[in-house]
Structure 1
Amino acid sequence: MTGEITLPPLPQLMPGTARTLPISGELLKLLQPLEGLIAAGQSAKAEVLSLKQADQTFQLLLKLTLDSGRQTTVQATSNQPLPLGTSLAVTQPSAGNLAITVQQAIAASVATLTRIDTTQLPVGTLLQGKVLTTQLQPQAAGQPAVYRSLVSLLNTALSGSTLSIDSPQPLRIGSLLSALVQGSQSLSFVPLSGRQEQLAIAQQLATQQSRQASLTGLINALQNLPPSDSTSSELRVAVDKLLAGLPDLQQLSNPKALAQALGNSGAFLESRLLAGDNSALAGDLKGNLLRLIAQMTPGLPSSTSFNAIIAANTLAQVLPSFVRSALGTLGQVSAKPQPGGFPLPSRLLQSLEEEGDLEHLLRLAAAAVSRLQSHQLASLEQSGLTDDGRLLTTWQLEIPMRTMQDVVPLQVKFQREDPAEKPPEEKRQEREPKQQLWRVELAFDLEPLGPLQVQAQLLKGRLSSQLWAERPFTASLIESHLGSLRERLLASGLDVGDLDCHLGTPPQGPKTRLEQRWVDETA
């Protein structure tokens, strides 16, 4: 997406001043009614911690500070978007509502910016931000559509501020944007080069893949870690927590447990932390690996020159900003991405001579972090816009699952294909909602079946699937059970298309599944 965006013109504010909005009397509806949160006749201070758009309403997370000094957070909905950091004074007329009585002065650092101070951000400055809301503004008949969005800035000295911008096209909520400052009230989207950005991701991915190793190597080493006086209690706790968080095959058969395992795979750690979800560290696989590395580092000999420590710590610090930057560019790129391979090949590290057990364990942990980051970068590499305007979003990840005494890595790739955006006039005439195409790929090596890969796609409630087995016995066995699988899928309410099993591996080549539908349901 290229073109200009403008900041809506409002009376000029002097730097450092604040403004108030006449919103007295508006109600915030609590998502969970709370009786007696604020005593009758009293008010509490509130601050907007997060803002999320849901259709025509806005979901807010508020931090309330009561007169007693006690603080609590509540979730509420509003008809108007309140920028992050907005300070409010509220009362509670009923258990399900909060009433805004006075909007306190908003500090300049958190006020909604409607113009840019070019002394702080000179012309040519690159801004990156996340789209919080998008609303179609009322326009006279015959006038072009204008969409107003709130964008949270992620870089420069104004990081954390909220920018209000107008655009001729709707900005996708949750997307990250890059724009150049053209003036005090004008920005232009950066005409990003898809080749340059994809090349940068591909280079980073190649570096990660040279460092990565299979998760099973680390997990087997942790399971066989001998009791020793040199092993600290903190390290033991970190090891036990990581191993206890590994799901088994039965748990992954439960939809809720499967969703939790996907969320804790490490693929979403940075995005959850950027969103302020500190609970993401609790059971996240990547978070547990980084915690394990932190516990092992003090136990190394002082004379060691172990590069994996530096690599792991550096990657842990650099990746979030790199992912944020890459996502900001991929949201605008128009060239087709060249996807990486799936699944990642198995790779084991051998112990080096004169390397202690702790050093080898730390090297395995750093390689495991690199493997998870390889999946994250592969997701970025396979996300973007096609030539015909379809938006492809990919999530690639890996889950170590327990099977009896073994741990088998389950590699998963989800891909969502959104139809091309249509002009507002065609949207109004469109009666049926746009249908998303979902693809799922699985890869695992489970004895005695051997390596297996599964591809499935879902469109308009119709499911089709292809399976590949590398062992003839496994392929024959699966083929004989396809009828039973079809019956179970039909019983679950799905419309089932093709179900086939093949001997070997899925075809790979320059014409990838990002560019063609391997089962064409419209044919």
Structure 2
Amino acid sequence: MQLDQLKLANREATLARVAEVINRQSSAGAQLLLEIRGQSLTVQAAIGDTSLETGDWVKVMRAGNELQLMGKLAQTPETTISRALAQRLPWQQSVDAGLARILTTLTGGARPDSVAPTGTPINNPPQPLPQPVRQAIEQLISRLPSSQSLTPGAGTQPGAAGQLRQWVEESGLFAESRLARAPQAALPDLKLAIGRVITALLAQQGSGPDAFNRFTPLASPELVQAPLQFPNTFPPPPPQGSAEPTVGQMLRLLAGMLNRITVNQLHSQILSTRTTAEAPTPVSTMLLELPWLNPNNEPRIAQLRIEQDPADSGQKTSGTPRATEWRLSLAMDLDEAGPLHFDVSLRQDQVSAQVWAEKQSTLRQVREDLPQLRKGLSDIGLDVVDLECRRGTPRGANTRLEHRLVDTRV
């Protein structure tokens, strides 16, 4: 019996989370999927006037062979985050594609938004960007890493660790926390820099920040198709035409880019607070994207997932406490080498790594470089436990929230 498996005594109360409202019934009842003590349980519940939604926490009590609903707890931060995430999912713009379109305006300008008296859009010729807008875009682009910074062996150079830390810090994932610490500073941060471009564009139109809410964000098709996959391995659509965007299109692109960064922030928060029966202690998770410039100054994206699995989150083996483990996944699609995926695990001074490549020529080159990588890791005092390269992509590389946690129809 499932109630016995929960080890819930008669008349004992406990908390349960509404994982899914399966079916709302007209007789003030509903079929619910509850998460109780790490297990899932489908129940028929008489909820009366109580409004229950996915993510709500309720108090239940065992009464013989039944569960009684005692009441609903106040809304949790996780629920608030989930709903904010669901609202932004359909409106994500790939950061590299958005930056590419914005970059064209530095040389080609932007077309003014205007319509004829009949309501038909007027195809105005492009005009140079006003200097404040141009300066804001140039400042944003100047902070992006270039391919020269990512050449083989660059990671061993003095200051490389600090440079990598700076790229992560300025990715936009920590924008609000950095701004809270220095509210008056013009911080070098991707999300804040995009906001400064938006502010400059609106100011040139004589509009304030509130006018930005009128613009519907432009979404990338691959992010609409798989809004929570990270890394997103769907191929991007063919490049759009070279026609200069209008000012309104620029604002819509920027709105979608902001949504993409915010989705990664919210997704990270939910993953960092989720617990399971196997991992009762949350695994701190960061999902972030680092835009960079290839030799042709075209924007590209590196997708990173960083996890810190604390020492007490897993089972102890042989009476020895489990050490904290750091895991890093990095996905990039290079112009000549093709898609590459790196999985690295570090526990104390032991490191293991797998490299995945889709192109056979790239696979061959990576295998030739593995001895150099092993030596570099050993030189900094790490014990290389496992180091291999495989063709293809790792199984389970795409991570997503369970659909019952976030209702994407919201």
- 1:71 is aligned to none
Select the structure that is richer in helix.
Answer: 2
Superposed, 1:72-87 pairs within 5 Å as none
Question: Cα RMSD between the aligned structures?
Answer: 3.9
* Structure 2 equivalent of residue 267 of structure 1: 173
Q: Tell me if 1:359 matches 2:248.
A: yes
Partners of 1:513 and 1:373 lie apart in 2 by 15
Q: Secondary structure at the match of 2:107?
A: coil
Cα offset for 1:242? 0.6
1:385 and 1:204 map into 2 onto residues whose CA distance is: 20
Q: Does the residue aligned with 1:498 lie in a helix, a strand or coil?
A: strand
- Cα offsets for 1:6-33 (capped at 9, x unmatched): xxxxxxxxxxxxxxxxxxxxxxxxxxxx
Q: Is the 8 A contact 2:167 2:290 kept in 1?
A: yes
Shift of 1:212: 1.2
Task: Quote the offset at 1:402 in angstroms.
Answer: 2.0
Distance in 2 of aligned mates of 1:349 and 1:376: 28
Query: Contact (CA 8 Å) 1:418, 1:435: kept in 2 or not?
Result: yes
**Cα deviation code 1:67-91 (max 9, x no counterpart):** xxxxxxxxxxxxxxxxxxxxxxxxx
Q: Tell me by how many angstroms 1:206 deviates.
A: 4.4
* SS class of match (2:229): coil
Cα distance in structure 2, aligned partners of 1:349 and 1:369? 22
Measure, in 2, the Cα distance between the counterparts of 1:381 and 1:467.
Answer: 28
AA aligned opposite 2:284? T
- Normalised to the residue count of structure 1, the TM-score between the two structures is 0.48
SS of corresponding position for 1:367: helix
What is the deviation of 1:511? 10
Q: Structure 1 residue 510: deviation in Å?
A: 10
User: Offset at 1:311?
Assistant: 5.5
Whole-Å Cα distance in 1 between the matches of residues 390 and 74 of structure 2?
41
What secondary structure does 1:226 align onto? Answer: helix
* Residue 392 (structure 1) aligns with: 283
Output the CA distance in 2 between the equivalents of 1:256 and 1:346. 32
Deviation of residue 481 (structure 1)? 2.2
Question: What letter matches 1:208 in structure 2?
Answer: R
Residue in structure 1 matched with residue 162 of structure 2 by the alignment: 256
Distance 1:447 1:434 in 2: 41
**Greater Rg over alpha carbons, structure:** 1
Aligned to 2:338: 450
Verify the 8 A CA contact 2:202 2:212 in the aligned structure 1: no
Segments of 5+ residues of structure 2 without an aligned counterpart are: 1-13, 16-71, 110-126, 218-226, 403-410
Unaligned runs of 5+ in 1: 4-189, 313-338, 423-429, 515-523
In structure 2, the residue matched to 1:372 is: 261
Q: In 2, Cα distance between the equivalents of 1:204 and 1:498?
A: 40
Deviation (angstroms), 1:435: 2.6
Alignment check: 8 A CA contact 1:414 1:439 kept: yes
Between the aligned partners of 1:281 and 1:443, the Cα distance in structure 2 is 30
Amino acid at match of 1:385: T
The answer for the alignment partner of 1:277 in structure 2 is: 182
Instruction: Please give the secondary structure, in 2, of the residue aligned with 1:399.
Output: strand
1:197 is aligned to 2:86: no
Q: CA 1:205–1:393 in structure 2 vs 1: closer, same or farther (change >3 Å)?
A: same
Q: Does the aligned pair in 2 maintain the 1:251–1:258 contact within 8 Å?
A: no
Change (3 A) 1:299 1:349: farther
Deviation at 1:238, TM superposition (A): 0.5
Deviation at 1:509, TM superposition (A): 8.6
Question: C-alpha distance in 2, partners of 1:244/1:362?
Answer: 20
Count of aligned pairs: 287
SS of the residue aligned with 2:171?
coil
Shift of 1:462: 0.5
Alignment of 1:13-412 (within 5 A): 197=78, 201-202=81-82, 204-224=84-104, 225-226=106-107, 231-251=129-149, 253=155, 254-274=160-180, 276-278=181-183, 281-299=186-204, 309-310=214-215, 340-344=228-232, 345=234, 347=236, 357-383=246-272, 384-388=274-278, 389-406=280-297, 407-412=299-304
**What letter corresponds to residue 282 of structure 2 in structure 1?**
L
Contact 1:467/1:500, CA 8 A, preserved across alignment? yes
Q: Which has the higher contact order (CA 8 A, sep 6+)?
A: 2
Aligned in 2, Cα 1:265/1:348: closer, same or farther, shift over 3 Å? farther
Judging changes above 3 Å, is the alpha-carbon distance between structure 1 residues 482 and 193 closer, same or farther for their aligned structure 2 residues? Answer: farther
CA contact (8 A) 1:308 1:366 kept: no
| Percent identical | 28
